[in-house]
Structure 1
Amino acid sequence: MTDSSSVRIGVLAPLSPPGWVEAGRHLLAGLELAVDEVNDAGGITGRPLELVVRDTAADPGKAAAAVDDLARLGVAALAGEYHSVVARAVAARADALGLPFLCSSAVFDTLTEQPTDRVARLAPAQSHGWRIYADFLLGAGHRRIAVVAEPSVYWATGTKILRDYLAPRGGTVIELAPDAVCDELAATRATALLLLAGYPEPAVSIVRAVRRDPRLAEVVIGAPAGQPEFPGWAARLGGEGAAIPFLRYLPARLGPLGVRVEAALRVRLAEAPSFVAFEGYDTIAVLAEVLRSAGSWADVAVEGTRGPIRFARMPGIGVWQWAWAPVQVVDRDPADPERFRVRTAASTD
């Protein structure tokens, strides 16, 4: 039952297939933990904070309808989402309705067609993170880079970011068809293959096929979108899923708040929290500050789990952006696929 005296936040998250359910579960765990702590500390000027959760199932139309539903319920703000194409639909509808929306985890640069003051984002923009990933590839000596990409504006944009960044630096991007990846990859002489594909399928099947093809024993597999971050990846692939570098939005070392939150999230999830869980927690930390002060995104100054959070206007990005959350390239250790290795890191500066 809903308490009419509460301050409600509408939450959008992928909690059923074909959405990335693991990501949605971690995102929600972070949001819920932060709400519990806000309420234990007195809520929002004495009123409890309440989450009203809607499952997007990675469906933009379903998400837009959920925004309308949440608006009718009188939520003060919207939060969450993981899938970029869904977050874009949420941002457009929220902006049209005049509802503040803090996007937790989606990275698509153009969340809105036009600049808006109603939308802000915690996750780094795709162009920022994927250029860091491209630098990592170049530093590791990869110049011929193959990508296997499913049809999607998100994957197409990622491919363009990589091609535009790598070409002036001596790199080549070669696109492969998902249904013939091993034969095509063997013919390209590429030294790296990037998975721009959904999880668990077809990403898991592609990894198994490449790992078991003796022609491709020296090819490095990469996953800039972060598919190996969640425990399900290691459970499905074991050692075959190790040594696949991906982007993760955590600092080299967590501060005291991050350490405390990590421990609490581990208990809540019964597994190691992903960076998405930290994004969820930080989302509520920011929204609680905005709701208490009745301020704008420009006024936010919050100590988050991964560093101080402030928002700014960035070129080419029409929403208020935390510039930037920390970015790492990490992989799972072949000697222990439950352990992560940091391959490179970028500061928040």
Structure 2
Amino acid sequence: MRTPPSPPGAERTAGSAVRIGALAPLTRPGWVEAGHHLLAGLELAVGEVNDTGGIDGRPLDLVVRDTAADPERAAAAVDELAHLGVAALVGEYHSVVARAAASRADALGLPYLCSSAVLDALTEQPTPWVARLSPPQSRGWRSYADFLLDAGHRGIAVAAQPSVYWATGTRILRDHLAAHGGTVVELDASALTPTAVCDALAENGATALLLLAGHPEPAVSIVRSVRRDPRLADLLIGAPAGQPELASWAAELGDDGAAIPFLRYLPERFGPLGARVETALRERLAAAPSFVAFEGYDTIAVLAEVLRSHGADRARIAEAWPRVAVEGTRGTIRFSRTPGIGVWQWAGPPVQVVDRDPARPDRFRVLHSG
């Protein structure tokens, strides 16, 4: 592993703060609600670490930068945070943005613990500097494809916008479904109006439509159009990327937003730590915490243990990834090398397909686990 020279201010005296850089989408066009949940989890865990003595008496200091879902802005933030002397980088929700951050962190020799982005190819080549808590897209989306197959869906349509993330998801779905006799038809959500999407669905006979498109638009308008089209009364609408997880979805769509299965990364039941953190996050957010908030909390839980055991030197942090064994809110976190994944990967995060109960849209139903 190459060991870059220490940046200005990196040599800290006893009692000085250990600075951690944090990336999150906090303004549009980023998914702001997801960013706030991620930040809530990060901040809750940092507060708990500092309330219990910090890192050998030194407090954690979270230095937050807004990515606004912009890869170039994220890369610039990584440069800035590295110059400020942060020991490590955490966070980010959007996969394409996290990929830019991971590539820059790798180039700079800055440890990065990615909280919530799933794109398999987070870096172009294997790196010792980056670890990830969220499951790779290939695992989660194959599980979603299994859910569709188990429910009897073989003809799938996707309303997709241009993006590496959406294109990768479409390929994963197509390959997995094709092996079981399924097909995937692509509809351009950027070029077609919601009415035109409905017309295409009525013509091709798909039994499920997956929203591989941004929230709130065009996803919300497509849902409304499909729900009001009598030709599509039996069509399943799905959103594997998790748009229905957050409260804004239900607020914007009401009953129309229920019964739309999506992926989330929570266990069916929390243990004592998860239950305690859920209560604290609910108070902090004044709303039910999403899986993204738990990913944020677990990120700091892992990094704090690494800092206590190995110190705040960047190279030693990165060298510690394969030795991590930390009890998080969703299970014991360990990193390993996964075929086809260039970063240190937690292989064990739970994966669920859930939806909002039409009878009670504030309650989630677990439809599939994998």
Which position in structure 2 is the counterpart of 1:134? 145
> What pairs up with 1:142-161 in 2 under 5 angstroms?
142-161=153-172
Note the alpha carbon deviations across 1:199-236, whole angstroms, 9 max, x for none: 11111011001001111000000000000000000000
SS at match of 1:316: coil
Show structure 1 runs of 5+ residues with no match: none
- 1:177 is displaced (CA, Å) by 2.6
Which position in structure 2 is the counterpart of 1:61? 72
Runs of 4+ in 1 over 3 A off after TM superposition: none
- Answer yes or no: is 1:12 the counterpart of 2:12: no
Which position in structure 2 is the counterpart of 1:87? 98
Which position in structure 1 is the counterpart of 2:199? 183
Distance 1:50 1:345 in 2: 37
Note the alpha carbon deviations across 1:136-185, whole angstroms, 9 max, x for none: 00000000000010001110000000001110101000111322210001
Distance 1:124 1:40 in 2: 30
Instruction: Decide which of 275, 291, 303 is 1:259's aligned counterpart.
Output: 275
Which position in structure 2 is the counterpart of 1:305? 329
- 1:265 is displaced (CA, Å) by 0.2
- 1:291 is displaced (CA, Å) by 1.0
| TM-score in terms of structure 2 length | 0.92
Distance 2:161 2:188 in 1: 8
Distance 1:48 1:168 in 2: 52
Instruction: Decide which of 112, 132, 140 is 1:121's aligned counterpart.
Output: 132
Which position in structure 1 is the counterpart of 2:210? 194
Instruction: Tell me how many residue pairs correspond in the alignment.
Output: 345
Distance 1:336 1:152 in 2: 33
Distance 2:257 2:238 in 1: 10
Letter of the structure 1 residue corresponding to residue 225 of structure 2: A
Note the alpha carbon deviations across 1:20-73, whole angstroms, 9 max, x for none: 000000000000000000011110111000100000000000000000110111
Which position in structure 1 is the counterpart of 2:62? 51
Which position in structure 2 is the counterpart of 1:163? 174
SS at match of 1:298: helix
- Answer yes or no: is 1:108 the counterpart of 2:91: no
Which position in structure 2 is the counterpart of 1:331? 355
Instruction: Decide which of 231, 245, 257 is 1:215's aligned counterpart.
Output: 231
Letter of the structure 1 residue corresponding to residue 361 of structure 2: P
Which position in structure 2 is the counterpart of 1:225? 241
Distance 1:214 1:324 in 2: 42
Which position in structure 2 is the counterpart of 1:342? 366
Name the Cα RMSD after superposition. 1.1
Distance 1:255 1:324 in 2: 16
Distance 1:324 1:210 in 2: 36
SS at match of 1:239: helix
Letter of the structure 1 residue corresponding to residue 126 of structure 2: P
Letter of the structure 1 residue corresponding to residue 44 of structure 2: L
SS at match of 1:190: coil
Distance 2:268 2:283 in 1: 22
Letter of the structure 2 residue corresponding to residue 11 of structure 1: A
Which position in structure 2 is the counterpart of 1:30? 41
- 1:324 is displaced (CA, Å) by 2.2
Show structure 2 runs of 5+ residues with no match: 1-8, 311-316
Which position in structure 2 is the counterpart of 1:245? 261
Which position in structure 2 is the counterpart of 1:270? 286
